[in-house]
């Protein structure tokens, strides 16, 4: 797959690879090829494009950039992260088994458990931070091991190279959902993963204005199969969505630096707040996965922070509706800070499965606003749940 600047640094490739000036007009920015079809000079004689479900030049530019940033041989783009996930499951046959991380995006669990399972494909959940547990959970028919790292929403760290070595000789492929880290922070293919999956809706797009997904890999024979399915099943992104994602990618490096710095400061602030019970952020030395994260995330620990609060659901619900800058919304990875309650929002679909999240859990997508404003907002929201306790203490002593 041709790369315009294959040896350049990440920041340079994000701006240039796949995005050379338009040969027809000299336009510096890749055009939005808003067309469904392409003229053929004679039957089968064309300039490489026949129909936009199959291929579109704006999508080609995005795919070329994504392959470069993940250091893969190829990338395929989809209409959403879940469309990319579904396309990957087309590699499976009835009787096959998927081993899925016990902490994962609720929609990924829902896809495997409520859609893919209907086609005779089994699955089980495992704590993927425990390599012995992964080894024990593998079955002869396991064909896909599905990891997220950091996981959504508990920010657990899976040792990608460790899981890859457990899989050696087994015949199961490993996909790493790299949505939370982005390719700026971590490169799963270099650590032994077979596929990288992205919800490009998040850090890659970066501005909460587009939904998309991608698969990236190195194995050319699987590429042909997946590319066939991308076209045959048809969940492709439109040219405008590809263009928005490409525009986001150009600033990924600078955004991720600020996301990580702000999230580290937020996590440290939360650690010392009396309303907070536990803080989950891989950049904290106290995090169970910190050592592995320090090794496999050379670009930083990204911008996601979760925490549990004292006072259970009531306190958590009060906090998520008391912040002013952190807006209460699903999704993540945009320049603006978001707050949500995973148990009732992004992970509602895992209720009753044994993999549910705690009611007292709050998740933050820390944006790139000024850190002092973010900390002040959290401080006033957390004070809202401490106030009754303090008032109670005052009256007890008063
Ligand atoms: O929303 P979509 O683009 O289809 O991506 C699905 C997806 C896949 N993988 C991970 C790790 C994700 O977090 C998501 C989507 N997640 C949210 C919407 C969320 O708020 O967690």
177 tagged catalytic:
yes
Q: Is 153 in the pocket of ligand 1 (CB under 6 A)?
A: no
**Could you read off the pLDDT of 66-117 as tens digits, one per residue?**
999 999 999 999 999 999 999 999 999 999 999 999 999 999 999 999 999 9
Q: Is 350 in the pocket of ligand 1 (CB under 6 A)?
A: no
The pLDDT score that the predictor gives to residue 7 is: 85
**DSSP state string for 257-323:** HHHHHHHHHHHHHHHT-TTEEEEE-TTSTTSTTHHHHHHH-TT---SEEEEEETTHHHHHHHHHTT-
Give me the residue label for tokens 């590319």.
Answer: 227
DSSP 147: E
Mean pLDDT of 51-55: 98
* Best of 77, 101, 110, 152 for a ligand 1 pocket test (most atoms within 8 Å of beta carbon): 152
Q: What count of Cα atoms within 13 Å lies in the side-chain half-sphere of residue 187?
A: 15
Cis amide leading into 150 (omega within 30): yes
Query: For residue 347, which atom of ligand 1 is closest to its CA?
Result: 21
**Could you read off the pLDDT of 340-369 as tens digits, one per residue?**
999 999 999 888 887 789 999 999 999 999
Closest-CA residue to 167 (of 142, 185, 148):
142
* Best of 83, 179, 197, 241 for a ligand 1 pocket test (most atoms within 8 Å of beta carbon): 179
**Could you read off the pLDDT of 324-337 as tens digits, one per residue?**
999 999 999 999 99
Q: Is the predicted pLDDT of residue 3 greater than 70, yes or no?
A: no
Q: Is 346 in the pocket of ligand 1 (CB under 6 A)?
A: yes
* Best of 83, 89, 106, 107 for a ligand 1 pocket test (most atoms within 8 Å of beta carbon): 107
324 tagged catalytic:
no
47 tagged catalytic:
no
Contact 311, 303 (CB under 8 A): no
Contact 266, 374 (CB under 8 A): yes
CA 169–ligand 1 middle distance (angstroms):
31
CA distance 202 to 272: 29
Which helix (DSSP H) or strand (DSSP E) does residue 77 occupy? strand 74-78
Q: Whose CA is nearest to atom 6 of ligand 1?
A: 81
Closest-CA residue to 52 (of 67, 32, 72, 25):
32
Contact 244, 209 (CB under 8 A): yes
Q: Whose CA is nearest to atom 17 of ligand 1?
A: 331
CA distance 242 to 16: 15
Model confidence at 245, pLDDT cuts 50, 70, 90, reads very high
Q: Is 80 in the pocket of ligand 1 (CB under 6 A)?
A: yes
Q: Whose CA is nearest to atom 3 of ligand 1?
A: 81
Q: Is the predicted pLDDT of residue 128 greater than 70, yes or no?
A: yes
Q: Is the predicted pLDDT of residue 46 greater than 60, yes or no?
A: yes
With vertex at residue 245, the alpha carbon angle to CA 321 and CA 257, rounded to the nearest 5 degrees, is 65
Mean pLDDT of 119-124: 98
Model confidence at 15, pLDDT cuts 50, 70, 90, reads very high
Is the entire prediction scored with pTM above 0.75?
A: yes
In this structure, how many other beta carbons lie within 10 angstroms of the beta carbon of residue 271? 14
Mean pLDDT of 276-302: 98
Query: Annotated catalytic residue: which of 102, 177, 241, 377?
Result: 177
Q: Alpha-carbon dihedral of residues 271, 273, 276, 280, nearest 10 degrees?
A: -20
The pLDDT score that the predictor gives to residue 307 is: 98
Query: Annotated catalytic residue: which of 53, 227, 247, 278?
Result: 53
Model confidence at 5, pLDDT cuts 50, 70, 90, reads low
* All structural domains of the chain: 10-250 (3.40.640.10), 254-396 (3.90.1150.10)
Model confidence at 60, pLDDT cuts 50, 70, 90, reads very high
Contact 323, 377 (CB under 8 A): yes
53 tagged catalytic:
yes
The pLDDT score that the predictor gives to residue 388 is: 53
CA distance 180 to 256: 11
Query: For residue 104, which atom of ligand 1 is closest to its CA?
Result: 11
């Amino acid at each position: 797959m041709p790369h315009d600047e294959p040896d350049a640094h990440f920041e340079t490739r994000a701006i240039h690879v796949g995005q050379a000036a338009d040969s027809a007009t000299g336009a510096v920015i890749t055009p939005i090829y808003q067309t469904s079809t392409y003229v053929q000079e004679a039957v089968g004689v064309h300039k490489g494009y026949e129909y936009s479900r199959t291929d579109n030049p704006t999508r080609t530019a995005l795919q070329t950039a994504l392959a470069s940033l993940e250091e893969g041989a190829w990338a395929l783009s989809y209409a959403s992260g879940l469309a990319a996930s579904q396309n990957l499951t087309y590699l499976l046959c009835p009787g096959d088994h998927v081993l899925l991380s016990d902490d994962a995006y609720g929609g990924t669990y829902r896809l495997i458990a409520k859609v893919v399972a209907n086609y005779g494909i089994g699955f089980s959940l495992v704590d993927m931070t425990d390599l012995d547990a992964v080894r024990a959970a593998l079955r002869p028919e396991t064909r896909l091991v599905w990891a997220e790292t950091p996981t959504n929403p508990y920010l657990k760290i899976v040792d990608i190279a460790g899981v890859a070595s457990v899989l050696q000789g087994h015949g199961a492929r490993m996909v790493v959902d790299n949505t939370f880290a982005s390719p700026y922070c971590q490169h799963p293919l270099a650590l032994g993963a077979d596929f990288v999956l992205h919800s490009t809706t998040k850090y890659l797009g970066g501005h909460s204005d587009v939904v998309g997904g991608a698969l990236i890999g190195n194995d050319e024979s699987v590429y042909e199969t997946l590319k066939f399915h991308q076209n045959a099943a048809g969940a492709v992104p439109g040219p405008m969505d590809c263009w928005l994602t490409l525009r986001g990618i150009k600033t990924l490096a600078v955004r991720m630096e600020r996301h990580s710095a702000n999230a580290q400061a937020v996590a440290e602030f939360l650690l010392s707040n009396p309303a907070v019970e536990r803080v989950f952020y891989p950049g904290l030395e106290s995090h169970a996965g910190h050592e592995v994260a320090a090794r496999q995330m050379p670009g930083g620990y990204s911008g996601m922070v979760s925490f549990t609060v004292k006072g259970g659901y009531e306190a958590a619900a009060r906090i998520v509706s008391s912040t002013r800058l952190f807006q209460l919304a699903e999704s993540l990875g945009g320049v603006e800070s978001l707050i949500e309650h995973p148990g009732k929002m992004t992970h509602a679909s895992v209720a009753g499965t044994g993999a549910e999240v705690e009611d007292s859990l709050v998740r933050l997508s820390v944006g790139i606003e000024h850190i002092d404003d973010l900390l002040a907002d959290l401080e006033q929201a957390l004070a809202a749940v401490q106030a009754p306790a303090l008032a109670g203490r005052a009256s007890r002593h008063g």
